[in-house]
Amino acid sequence: MADDEKPAVFSKEALRAIQEWRQLPGKRYQREATSLSSRVHEVLGGLGLGDQFTEQELTEAWRDLVGDFLASHSRPGSMHNDVLEIRLLQPSMLYMLEREQKPLLLNKLQQRFGKERIRDVKFRIG
């Protein structure tokens, strides 16, 4: 502080307001420590995203459900309105899955992730 400057003078109310704002002596606000993962889950739950599953979970489940051969020729794509899109490499696989395997695969996916999460499965080339 320079020689010609005088220290600031505050009223008692102003000092109390500053102390409360800084959370200095008097009231101490302390929270218990929580893990980051629990906070993230809490925030996602508030946004309605807590029950979503990850792409990795879905990819691993797909390989378990359909086997290595089919999994190497297909992959889970996007998910819109609880409808899972599966991307296929060949039209012949589209026919086979759509006509013959769809109910079985949908049932297996719903058992694994829940009927409220996967309502339907669509197959696409690409």
Same-domain status, 42 and 98: no
**Predicted pLDDT of residue 41:** 66
**Predicted pLDDT of residue 45:** 63
Under 8 Å CB-to-CB from 96, ≥6 apart: which residues?
Answer: none
Indicate the pTM of the whole model: 0.57
> What are the mean pLDDT values of the chain's consecutive 10-residue runs (126 residues total)?
66 79 62 72 61 72 87 88 90 89 91 88 92
Domain span including residue 36 = 12-46
Same-domain status, 34 and 66: no
Same-domain status, 119 and 64: yes
Same-domain status, 60 and 113: yes
**Predicted pLDDT of residue 2:** 58
> Of 75, 83, 81, nearest to 55 (Cα)?
75
Instruction: Report how far residue 94's alpha carbon sits from residue 90's, in angstroms, rounded to the nearest whole number.
Output: 7
**Predicted pLDDT of residue 103:** 93
Number of structural domains, the chain?
2
Same-domain status, 59 and 120: yes
- The reply to whether 21 falls in a domain is yes
In angstroms, how far is CA 16 from the centroid of its own chain?
Answer: 43
